[in-house]
Copies of this chain bind each other. A is one copy, B any other.
């Protein structure tokens, strides 16, 4: 079974998720510059979520590139990932409209955590279906980002109950971790280990 349609369907769902998040930016009824101010936290949440969904699309793109065949298990692991990503607009809207309050910030972290776990499951399913010595297995290497991110999300969720702004700082840091070009960091780490 070809992977073309799996890519097309995932692209469609991710494109819709990334775009409907902007609908949370409700058009204000006034025309002053000040009327945009209350929208600032919603806008910042939108930027953060846009970057996160962009990272997922980017990584999904690479992962499927290294995927040979698509089994039924891969199809469902992929839908499972799309399910958690589809909750991003809700989590983003709740966090943005409530100015990064405690519980919405924690929920945002939970959605990020579940998406990361779903991504990991999809990765393992593809590797398992490809058999030992697969292309993806060697491509991801030690996968230290994939292993570190869920730990950081949990720290973010827990810390949101003590230091509210800590959660945001953690979520932004994880996004930057993925945004910074891979190779330079990995090379640096490799050198550290030698």
Query: What residues of chain A have their CB less than 8 Å away from a CB belonging to chain B?
Result: 1, 5, 7-9, 11-20, 22-25, 27-29, 31-33, 36, 47, 50, 54, 57-58, 61-62, 65, 72-73, 75-76, 79, 82-83, 86-87, 89-90, 93-94, 97-98, 101-104, 107, 179, 181-182
Contact = CB atoms under 8 A, between A and B. Distances in A.
A20 B23 contact: yes
A34 to B, nearest CB: 9
A86 B18 contact: yes
A175 to B, nearest CB: 12
19 contacts: A1-B65, A5-B7, A5-B61, A8-B11, A9-B11, A11-B12, A12-B15, A13-B19, A25-B87, A27-B97, A31-B94, A31-B103, A32-B103, A36-B107, A50-B83, A54-B76, A54-B79, A58-B76, A72-B181
Among the interface residues A19, A24, A58, which one has the most CB atoms of the partner chain B within 10 A?
A19
A36 B98 CA distance: 14
Contacts of A7: 5, 8
- The 3 A-B residue pairs with the shortest CB-CB distance, nearest first, are A12-B15, A31-B101, A27-B93
Contact of A15 (B13, B33, B76, B83): B13
A9 B72 CA distance: 22
